[in-house]
Amino acid sequence: MSYQVPVKKVLISEEEINKRVKELAKQISTDYAGKTPLLVCILRGASLFFSDLIKNLKIDCNLDFMCLSSYQGTNSSGKVRLLLDIRDDIRDKDVIVVEDIVDTGITGVYLRDLLGARKPASLEFCTLLDKPQNRKVEITPKYLGFSIENEFVIGYGLDYNELYRNLPFVGVFDETKK
**Is there binding between residue 70 and ligand IMP (CB under 6 A)?**
yes
**Is there binding between residue 76 and ligand IMP (CB under 6 A)?**
yes
Sheet of 7-12: strands edge to edge? Answer: 7-12, 170-173, 153-154
**Is there binding between residue 28 and ligand IMP (CB under 6 A)?**
no
Residue 105 CB neighbour total at 10 angstroms = 20
Sheet of 143-147: strands edge to edge? Answer: 75-84, 62-72, 38-43, 94-102, 122-130, 143-147
Cβ of residue 126: shortest distance to ligand IMP, in angstroms? Answer: 13
Cβ of residue 9: shortest distance to ligand IMP, in angstroms? Answer: 14
Q: Using CB under 6 A, pick the residue from 37, 105, 145, 171 that binds ligand IMP.
A: 105
Q: Residues touching ligand IMP: how many (CB under 6 A)? A: 17
The answer to whether the peptide bond before residue 44 is cis (omega within 30 degrees of 0) is yes
**Residues near ligand IMP, by CB under 6 A:** 45, 70-71, 76, 99-108, 152-153, 158
Which residues are part of the catalytic machinery?
Answer: 103
